Structure 1
Amino acid sequence: MDLQKTAHVVLLSSPGIGHLIPIIELGKRFHIHHNFKVTILVITSQTSQAESQILKSATNPSLYTIIPIPSSNISATAVSTRIRLTMRHSIPSIKSALINLPLRPSAFIVDIFGTESLILAKELNIPKFVYVASHAWYLSLFAYSPVLDKQIEGQYVDQKEPLKIPGCKSVRPEDLVDSMMDRNNLQYKEYLITANNLCKSDAVLVNTWNELQHRELKALNGELSCSLKIPVFAVGPIVRQTKSKTDQDTESMMKWLDKQPKESVVYVSFGSGGTLSYDQMKELAFGLELSEQRFIWVLRAPRGDDADGAFFTTGCSDRFDEIQKQLPDGFLERIKNLGMLVQEWAPQVNVLKHGSIGCFISHCGWGSVLESLTNGVPIIAWPLYAEQRMNATMLVEELGVAVKTTLSPTKNVVGREEIASLVKKVILVERNGKSNHMRERVREIKVSAEKALCEGGSSYNTLSKVAKIINKQDFISLSLNVDMRDEIKD
């Protein structure tokens, strides 16, 4: 086979901002650091205004080509099931897009919901990868789920002991991903199909770095290799680095931040799909007010009873004045010199990079977590759906960069007093002259992340190995062998 002078990597993104952004950023790194031609196939939701805005703003022909593929109208209760079914129905369109590309693909990289499309790369005889935009602990649970399915009887949530994963921290039943909460529903069945499909790729890329999760990465390429069967490459943290374009509202927000003291502002946002009930919104409003700390709150109306209700409908469709009427009486007047409310969306990278931000109340989606850590901002963990409970537990118990609520926000209304207490704990420096350990720890992780991505760093070198494999069409080095795994573990 004649090799192309320039490798051409094709990436596939499932619907949703949280899936699209990591794929775009991975594509950028392939182009900027390895001079690859990059094409990004995006299965669009067709209902998310924010997704459309991201696609429009992300257009950059000098770095990559984006090809939107409209999705079928799939109706399913659970968001993850809807995404998986959407991707399955899109396979013929994905195949057509691949065949009609002007330049033959050198590799095909899919996100975690696109694994059923790997068969297309097999037909084209090109290397195929799964990009897991979350962390290595989540990947270990995901990869080991088919084994757990055979080992454990009954519901996982009824287990008295944490679920054991070889070489990794065990997972408490209450921290499991949403798809594992009920083994009798379609969501779990679809989750297992995806987990079993992982090993149909040649390798997995994961959005973390060796210094952050050495134990889990060692297990994935060691003790867990018998179930995963393919190597795992840590290539993160892959996050948005460039600031968003500013409009008049954004400029107003940034000017307000410019006037605030260093590390004094709480940024409150629950991602592109997260929503709170009106009761919880009121308690959060009271809690922010009681804390007496400055804040920016990205406010969104509830979408039904689901915490991820805005996933497919994100956009400024609700009248902001109507949403604000649901807040406590007199709240807007009392906080006009203390905080700022923003409708639906804020330029998160711009905000988290600003020196006045001292804390992030976050749903703990991994993309938001990485944006917070790489900017040295500690977190108040407020997990809502997907693997966010695992993320919150890791941030608090493993990394020491966050605090979390006593009760799960998914099932309970968190009270104003606890909210105020958590905000003060993170924002205010500890008394008696002691430094804030959480803030010191997050700064250490920020430096660690920067080193991993710099030339010669662990993730830079790992992505270079992947690029070399793609350039040489080197299937042999991707095969499961001791030498390759030892190289990865080192």
Structure 2
Amino acid sequence: MDNASKPHAVIVSSPGVGHLVCNLELGNRLVADHNFHVTFFVVLESPGASPGESQLIQSATTRKLLHVVVLPPVDVSGEVGPNAPIFTRLTAVMREIRPILRSGISPLKPSPTAIIVDVFGTPVLDVADEFHMLKYVFGTSAWPLALMLYVPILDKEIEGEYLDQKEPLRIPGCMAVRPEDVVNPLLDRTKQEYNMFVQVGSEMRKSDGVLVNTWEDLDATTLKAMREEEGFGSVPVYAVGPLIKQIEPSEASKKSDLLDWLDQQPIESVLYISFGSLGVLSAQQITELAWGLEQSQQRFIWVLRPPSKRDSSEEDGRGNDALNYLPDGFRHRIGNLGIVVTQWAPQSDILSHRSTGGFLSHCGWNSSLESIMSGVPMVTWPLYAEQKMNATKLAEEVGVAVRPKIAPTKGVVGREEIEMMVRKVMEDPEGKAMRARVKELKISGEKALVEGGSSFNAMSHMAKQCLINAMSQSQIVKGP
């Protein structure tokens, strides 16, 4: 089938490795499985792409499934301050990118029939109207997306600050959300970030569909509510996941000492510890985590970063070397039991390795899906954004994780509790039950993506909508 008779979708990815990963995989699936032509616009926040962004862009270009266009960064310094929260900053970037995006879309042939943006990209949906495109928003996990769609209702119903509410927040189809577990933009209603969040929720309701990076078996209750409850605004909801980064071992990861070490460990005996590209711990928490790991006597790979400057004293002389924050003698005492990494680690390769049996994770949704699709249970360690909601879901609803009694954002998790959680996942009967459950979900997720599966069918339905729109566009162009 030539390009003229294919549905042509434009995907616009806001800045950040996490957004690029799932947006690129969505684009690849639409091309490979559903006969789309996809033009993929990458928005950068600064003049040079980060190493992670560069690697993903290069990989996508090499695969040649997508037509990748990197847009020049825009200056938002007149609109937001240098320390503006991420939600405010990225939505400002996406608002300012509209003229450049418009110029990028205008010459495309055949004319695109649909635009897909992530949740930060709703400001560019205005551009879609000019080109008569269908408008879709691609979100991450179901609970945070349900919150975004429902927040215009909460904004009217709740008086005062969310944090001051005595009762949990009730969102149809989700477990009750503790006020302290809501996403950061809802923590202060007087700030610009709150208004932006409510506005994004309202804009999503006006789209032609919301795509969710999950599948029917994982989120049946929430998806049903989002489709049937009036409070969500009657927007069509498509579960199209699990979309995760496909493992393409680079030469560096093929030669990785980490993978060589993993090859020598017993099956499902190693705990992988990583807090994502932005996650850092306080100096005190690094100490407690190190002692907890040592006391657990479990094998581990720990991706360690130095504390943020606000959490470490400049006077103590430890500087920016992450290893300086480990307890004295720690590395000598653990010997070959564990490895501490201060640079990049091939997460996908590690999680999918037969020797990996647990993941202590910040619960970003990409990492959570990678863990599930590798059959690996989790210790949750949420730090920011929607991670607290994800952690609650994984531990209390899905049953594939344990979480600390005190939220890591609220205080220091002690070494005894860390030891207990690690042992629970790695060797206790409860951990074995979680491992069995997560392996069931892995099989379920794989089935959802193949022909006839729920996520495959959801994308097929979307493809049909795009073809219908393409035909109607063609009629408009040709005239009666």
TM normalised by structure 2 equals: 0.91
Whether contact under 8 Å (2:269, 2:426) holds in the other structure is yes
Whether contact under 8 Å (1:268, 1:296) holds in the other structure is yes
Once residues 300 and 167 of structure 1 are traced to their aligned partners in structure 2, the CA distance between those partners, rounded to angstroms, is 37
Whether contact under 8 Å (1:118, 1:200) holds in the other structure is no
Cross-structure match for 2:239 = 234
Whether contact under 8 Å (1:11, 1:41) holds in the other structure is yes
Once residues 264 and 171 of structure 2 are traced to their aligned partners in structure 1, the CA distance between those partners, rounded to angstroms, is 48
Once residues 58 and 45 of structure 2 are traced to their aligned partners in structure 1, the CA distance between those partners, rounded to angstroms, is 14
Cross-structure match for 1:311 = none
Cross-structure match for 1:137 = 143
Cross-structure match for 2:56 = 54
Whether contact under 8 Å (2:7, 2:470) holds in the other structure is no
How far the C-alpha of 1:95 sits from its partner, in A, is 1.3
Once residues 435 and 211 of structure 2 are traced to their aligned partners in structure 1, the CA distance between those partners, rounded to angstroms, is 29
Question: Could you tell me which amino acid in structure 2 is paired with residue 31 of structure 1?
Answer: V
Q: Write the mapping of 1:9-24 to structure 2, written as runs, cut at 5 A.
A: 9-24=9-24
Deviations 1:347-370 (A, max 9, x none): 111111100000000000011000
Cross-structure match for 1:196 = 202
Corresponding pairs, count: 459
Question: Equivalent of 2:296, from 291, 294, 300?
Answer: 291
Deviations 1:290-344 (A, max 9, x none): 111111111122334499xxxxxxxxxxx99822112111112222311112224
Pair 1:99-2:106 in alignment: yes
Whether contact under 8 Å (1:244, 1:349) holds in the other structure is no
Deviations 1:121-142 (A, max 9, x none): 111011111111x222222111
How far the C-alpha of 1:94 sits from its partner, in A, is 1.4
How far the C-alpha of 1:475 sits from its partner, in A, is 9.7
Question: Could you tell me which amino acid in structure 1 is paired with residue 129 of structure 2?
Answer: K
How far the C-alpha of 1:250 sits from its partner, in A, is 5.3
Question: Could you tell me which amino acid in structure 2 is paired with residue 363 of structure 1?
Answer: H
Question: Could you tell me which amino acid in structure 2 is paired with residue 364 of structure 1?
Answer: C
Residues 62-71 or 8-17, more deviating = 62-71
Whether contact under 8 Å (1:8, 1:106) holds in the other structure is yes
Task: Give the secondary-structure state (helix, strand or coil) at the position aligned to 1:130.
Answer: strand
Cross-structure match for 2:362 = 363
How far the C-alpha of 1:403 sits from its partner, in A, is 0.2
Cross-structure match for 2:211 = 205
Q: Write the mapping of 1:47-86 to structure 2, written as runs, cut at 5 A.
A: 48-74=50-76, 75-86=82-93
Question: Could you tell me which amino acid in structure 2 is paired with residue 40 of structure 1?
Answer: F
Cross-structure match for 2:174 = 168
Question: Could you tell me which amino acid in structure 2 is paired with residue 25 of structure 1?
Answer: E
Cross-structure match for 2:439 = 443
How far the C-alpha of 1:249 sits from its partner, in A, is 8.3
Q: Write the mapping of 1:418-437 to structure 2, written as runs, cut at 5 A.
A: 418-430=417-429, 436-437=432-433
Whether contact under 8 Å (1:250, 1:346) holds in the other structure is no
Whether contact under 8 Å (1:243, 1:349) holds in the other structure is no
Structure 1 unaligned runs (5+)?
308-318, 477-490
Question: Could you tell me which amino acid in structure 1 is paired with residue 413 of structure 2?
Answer: V
Task: Give the secondary-structure state (helix, strand or coil) at the position aligned to 2:278.
Answer: coil
Structure 2 unaligned runs (5+)?
77-81, 313-317, 473-480
Task: Give the secondary-structure state (helix, strand or coil) at the position aligned to 2:327.
Answer: coil
Whether contact under 8 Å (2:34, 2:459) holds in the other structure is no
Q: Write the mapping of 1:472-483 to structure 2, written as runs, cut at 5 A.
A: 472-473=468-469
Once residues 404 and 39 of structure 2 are traced to their aligned partners in structure 1, the CA distance between those partners, rounded to angstroms, is 42
Question: Could you tell me which amino acid in structure 1 is paired with residue 120 of structure 2?
Answer: F
CA separation of 1:93/1:344 partners in 2, compared to 1, >3 Å: closer, same or farther? farther
Whether contact under 8 Å (1:127, 1:475) holds in the other structure is no
CA separation of 1:101/1:324 partners in 2, compared to 1, >3 Å: closer, same or farther? same
Once residues 167 and 405 of structure 2 are traced to their aligned partners in structure 1, the CA distance between those partners, rounded to angstroms, is 20
Once residues 101 and 60 of structure 1 are traced to their aligned partners in structure 2, the CA distance between those partners, rounded to angstroms, is 21
Pair 1:300-2:305 in alignment: yes
Task: Give the secondary-structure state (helix, strand or coil) at the position aligned to 1:129.
Answer: strand
Cross-structure match for 2:335 = 336
CA separation of 1:306/1:117 partners in 2, compared to 1, >3 Å: closer, same or farther? farther
Once residues 417 and 249 of structure 2 are traced to their aligned partners in structure 1, the CA distance between those partners, rounded to angstroms, is 33
RMSD in angstroms over aligned alpha carbons?
2.3
CA separation of 1:419/1:475 partners in 2, compared to 1, >3 Å: closer, same or farther? farther
Pair 1:457-2:453 in alignment: yes
Question: Could you tell me which amino acid in structure 2 is paired with residue 466 of structure 1?
Answer: M
Question: Equivalent of 2:187, from 172, 181, 188?
Answer: 181
How far the C-alpha of 1:15 sits from its partner, in A, is 0.7
Once residues 251 and 406 of structure 2 are traced to their aligned partners in structure 1, the CA distance between those partners, rounded to angstroms, is 37
TM normalised by structure 1 equals: 0.89
Question: Could you tell me which amino acid in structure 2 is paired with residue 92 of structure 1?
Answer: P
Cross-structure match for 1:316 = none
CA separation of 1:291/1:58 partners in 2, compared to 1, >3 Å: closer, same or farther? farther
Whether contact under 8 Å (1:198, 1:228) holds in the other structure is no
Pair 1:128-2:127 in alignment: no
Cross-structure match for 2:478 = none
